[in-house]
Amino acid sequence: MCSMAKITSCEIAFVPIVSEDYISSVDKVLDIIRSYDLEHNIGIMSTTVRGDINKIHKLIFEIYDKMDQECKFTMDIKLSNLCGCD
């Protein structure tokens, strides 16, 4: 069990489906992720964030709300309550 506060891990894979400029859409999502005070690791196919579950929920809703105005997309989200600090 972790001695620190409860940490949640989340993997987010954002895929623009109908977008005039899909690279710009992905960059906007990455900018949103970077704006949060969460540990993050940007990968080729997805981004992993770690931190407080409430901040992660807020992040997911912000991505959805902002990108809903920009393009059609899918967003695969995996959440884990295993912090990996054991």
pLDDT tens column, 36-65 = 999 999 999 999 999 999 999 999 999 999
Whether the per-residue pLDDT at 19 is higher than 90: the answer is no
Dihedral sign, Cα of residue 6, residue 31, residue 21, residue 41: negative
Maximum Cα–Cα distance for the chain, whole Å?
47
**Model pTM?**
0.87
C-alpha distances (whole Å) from 14 to each of 41, 70, 76, 79 are 14, 13, 7, 15
The predicted structure's pLDDT at residue 10? 97
Domains of the chain: 8-79 (3.30.70.930)
